[in-house]
Amino acid sequence: MTLTDTRRQAPPAVVARDLTKVYGEGDAQVHALRAVNVSFATGAFTAIMGPSGSGKSTLMHCLAGLDAATSGTVHIGDVELTGLNDRQLTLLRRERIGFVFQAFNLLPTLTAEQNIRLPLDIAARQADQQLFDRVIETVGLKDRLGHRPSELSGGQQQRVAVARALISKPQVIFADEPTGNLDSRSGAEVLSFLRTSVRELGQTIVMVTHDPVAASYADRVVFLRDGELVTEIGAPTPQSVLDTLVRLERA
Ligand SMILES: Nc1ncnc2c1ncn2[C@@H]1O[C@H](COP(=O)(O)OP(=O)(O)OP(=O)(O)O)[C@@H](O)[C@H]1O
Ligand SMILES: [Mg+2]
């Protein structure tokens, strides 16, 4: 069975139904998400876009169990995240979800290799050596494994952060502006690596970004405005993403 067949047969990695998030009370209420319905296919790379304040980070945080929704449900695979207590959520995040943030969040005293293995050490899990080798191969950092973060470029540090997320084979990786702190060349490195990990390792990735070029690396782009999912496009190009953003601003 090919990877494409697997993808076609697999149920979605993440499903949100009527997801609503209200911050504050009374006059100070902000409806950050208004009954969002969206699902993210297994083995696909999806970008979330929308104007500042449209609810992108809120959506990602609710999907990842970092923030509690006001109402609605989130499923990660067959687990309903919205029904879990704090302890169960912590376990689910550790075992099924990977994170990549704008700040690389690497531990400065550990080498690249130690940083990559850290989630497995914390969970007291054995590294799958074959996967480790494959991730290192894909990440292209074989000769940098002994370096500390301060001895790596920004793009290399972010690739270490992505490798760290990949190594525990999470059901989904959430990335919030992963190239926000990078120049365009390092950003392109990280984005190609994200795309390769989807193509070659079958990883599912959901990425929030402001950048039409970054979004064009994804298989699909969904657009938020005022807490609502308003449209989406497949096989995005920088131009088609830009056109959609302009159309949304005008509407
Ligand atoms: N902790 C909070 N308390 C109150 N309001 C909040 C809180 N976090 C976010 N909001 C509001 O919810 C709305 C959505 O915010 P969110 O951070 O999800 O937007 P975003 O699309 O990620 O924006 P950006 O592109 O600027 O990162 C905004 O109006 C924001 O002011
Ligand atoms: Mg945000």
**In which band, very low, low, confident or very high, does the pLDDT at 138 lie, cut at 50, 70 and 90?**
confident
Gap from CA of 56 to ligand 2 centroid (Å): 6
Strands across the sheet containing 172-176: 97-100, 172-176, 205-208, 45-49, 220-225, 228-234
Gap from CA of 94 to ligand 1 centroid (Å): 25
Q: Is the CB of 102 under 6 A from ligand 1?
A: no
Gap from CA of 54 to ligand 2 centroid (Å): 8
CB 58 within 8 A of CB 229: no
Specify the pLDDT at position 101.
87
Pairing of strands 228-234, 71-76: unpaired
Q: What is the pLDDT of residues 83-136, one digit of tens each?
A: 899 999 999 998 899 999 888 889 999 999 999 999 888 777 777 888 888 888
**In which band, very low, low, confident or very high, does the pLDDT at 71 lie, cut at 50, 70 and 90?**
very high
Domains of the chain with CATH codes: 43-61+87-250 (3.40.50.300)
Nearest Cα to Cα of residue 64 among 72, 73, 74, 56:
74
| Other residues' Cβ atoms within 10 Å of the Cβ of residue 224 | 26
Gap from CA of 32 to ligand 1 centroid (Å): 6
Specify the pLDDT at position 7.
57
Kindly identify the ligand whose nearest atom is closest to the C-alpha of 25: 1
Q: How far apart are CA 112 and CA 164, in angstroms?
A: 9
**In which band, very low, low, confident or very high, does the pLDDT at 6 lie, cut at 50, 70 and 90?**
low
**In which band, very low, low, confident or very high, does the pLDDT at 239 lie, cut at 50, 70 and 90?**
very high
Specify the pLDDT at position 30.
95
| Other residues' Cβ atoms within 10 Å of the Cβ of residue 62 | 25
Kindly identify the ligand whose nearest atom is closest to the C-alpha of 61: 1
Q: Is the CB of 68 under 6 A from ligand 1?
A: no
Specify the pLDDT at position 95.
87
Closest ligand 1 atom number to CA of residue 33: 14
Q: Which helix (H) or strand (E) segment is 108 a member of?
A: none
Q: Is the CB of 12 under 6 A from ligand 1?
A: no
Specify the pLDDT at position 174.
96
Q: What is the pLDDT of residues 184-237, one digit of tens each?
A: 888 998 899 899 999 988 999 999 999 999 999 999 999 999 999 999 999 999
Average pLDDT taken over every residue of the chain = 91
Asked whether the predicted pLDDT for residue 4 surpasses 70, the reply is: no
Specify the pLDDT at position 8.
57
Q: What is the pLDDT of residues 40-58, one digit of tens each?
A: 999 999 999 999 999 999 9
Hunting for tokens 């912590």 — which residue is that? 90
Q: What is the pLDDT of residues 15-33, one digit of tens each?
A: 999 999 999 998 999 999 9
Q: Is the CB of 36 under 6 A from ligand 1?
A: no
Hunting for tokens 């054995």 — which residue is that? 126
Query: Does the global pTM surpass 0.85?
Result: yes
